[in-house]
Amino acid sequence: MIDLHTHSFFSDGVLGPMELIRRAEVKGIRYLAITDHADPSNLDHIIPRIIQAAQAANRHCKIRVIPGVELTHVPPAMIAELSMQARELGAALVVVHGESPVEPVPPGTNRAAIECGVDILAHPGLIAEEDVELAARNGVHLEITARGGHSLGNGRVAKLAGIHRAKLLINTDSHAPGDLIDRAFAKVIALGAGLSEAEFEEIMSSAEEFAKEKFKTI
């Protein structure tokens, strides 16, 4: 199992990074990204601390931890600049909090994230078809999420990604211990989104290769 979207208590998660890492390892997760919510007020605060946790875990644990960040509810015009700042601070993975159907994310967020080439557009909701097409061209991964509410757009995301050959990831957006899932439940999420078993296997294989490449950058 690969999970590239999780949260610790450095934003709105309930676990410290090391406990999150340990629980993920026990769940069978091989690559974990910690991607706490950030905006201009806290970007420089949380990324160095996530990096410290990742470095400790990567020295002493079998699980491989990737330090990241999730740019959340920021004006679309700021996404490119904040993404660049996050990478300069050491974030190996930049996620943008997409236009979930259950939150008032600013319109245009999906497009701005894809245009500047972030790594993952999380729970993009009722994403426009032209944005999926652009994501495929720009190599931006679209998320199939296990998180309730945000998952309401999974079917649309899966369908359009299949049409335009956009890259998909299955992530949990974990905030608490019970949010973490194993590979078997990830398959349930995939099939529920309308993906086939073969497509699920392809996504998981691609996710591992993507995670390995990101891990090499830290």
**Residue ranges of domains in the chain:** 2-216
Q: Given CA atoms 210, 212, 215, 217 in this order, what sign does their dihedral have?
A: negative
**Which residue bears the tokens 């993507």?**
210
Q: Which class would CATH give 2-216?
A: alpha beta
pLDDT in tens, 3-55: 999 999 999 999 999 999 999 999 999 999 999 999 999 999 999 999 999 99
Tokens of 32: 């974990």
Checking DSSP bridges between strand 37-38 and strand 31-34, what pairing results, if any?
A: unpaired
What is the structure's pLDDT at 57? 97
* Strand ranges inside 101-174, DSSP E: 120-122, 141-145, 168-171
Q: Which two tokens stand for residue 186?
A: 């990830």
pLDDT, tens digit, for every residue of 59-79? 999 999 999 999 999 999 999
Among 80, 129, 132, 123, CA closest to 105: 123
- Structure token digits, residue 185: 């439940």
Q: Are 20 and 34 in contact (CB under 8 A)?
A: yes
Name 217's Cβ contacts closer than 8 Å, sequence gap at least 6: 92
- Tell me the C-alpha distance between 218 and 201, whole Å: 27
- Model pTM? 0.97
The pLDDT score that the predictor gives to residue 188 is: 98
Report pLDDT for 106.
Answer: 98
The token duo for 129 is 């078809």
